[in-house]
Amino acid sequence: MRELRGFAVWLFWGLPVVVVGFGGVSAAVLVPVSSAANRQQIESLYCPGSGVLPPVLAGREAESAVLDAFRRKLLGGAPIPRDGVIYGPMGNGKTVLVESFRRACAGQGIPDHRFVDTYASSLSSLDRLLQALLPVGVDSGLAKRLKEAKSVQALSVQVALGDSKVPTVAEVLTARAADGPLVMAVDEAHMLTVEVGRELLNASQAVRKRGLPFFFLLAGTPNLRARVRSMGATFWGRSERMPVGRLSRAATRRALVEPLAQFGVAFEAEALDLAMADIVGYSYFVQLWGESLTNTKAGAPRGASVSVGDAERASSVFALKRDDYCRDRYEELRDGACSAWSPRWQGGLSAGPRFGGSASGNGTGLRAAHRSRLRLVG
CB 252 within 8 A of CB 59: yes
Please tell me the predicted confidence (pLDDT) of residue 63: 96
- At CA 150, angle to CA 147 and CA 153, rounded to 5? 95
pLDDT in tens, 154-190: 333 344 444 555 678 998 899 888 888 999 999 999 9
Confirm if 294 and 306 have CB atoms less than 8 A apart.
no
Contacts 24+ apart (CB under 8 A), 3-8: none
Lowest mean pLDDT among 48-57, 265-274, 283-292: 48-57
Concatenating the DSSP letter of every residue in 289-324 gives HHHHHHHHHTTS---SEE-HHHHHHHHHHHHHHHHH
CA-based end-to-end distance of the chain: 56
Residue 275 confidence (pLDDT)? 97
pLDDT in tens, 40-93: 777 778 988 777 888 899 999 999 999 999 999 999 988 898 999 999 988 899
- Give dist(CA 292, CA 217) in Å, integer: 33
| Domain range annotation of the chain | 61-243, 258-377
Q: What is the pLDDT, as a whole number, of residue 154?
A: 37
pLDDT at 30: 31
Pick the CATH number of 61-243 from 3.40.640.10, 3.40.50.300, 3.80.10.10, 3.40.190.10: 3.40.50.300
Q: What is the pTM of this model?
A: 0.74
Q: Is the pLDDT of residue 14 over 50?
A: no
Percentage of the chain exceeding pLDDT 70: 67
CA gap 210, 185 in Å, rounded: 20
Query: Which three-class secondary structure state does DSSP give residue 272?
Result: helix
pLDDT at 236 over 60: yes
Amino acid at 313: R
Burial of 136 (0-12, 13-18, 19+ CB in 10 A): exposed
Tens-place pLDDT, residues 316-342:
999 999 998 888 877 766 665 443 333
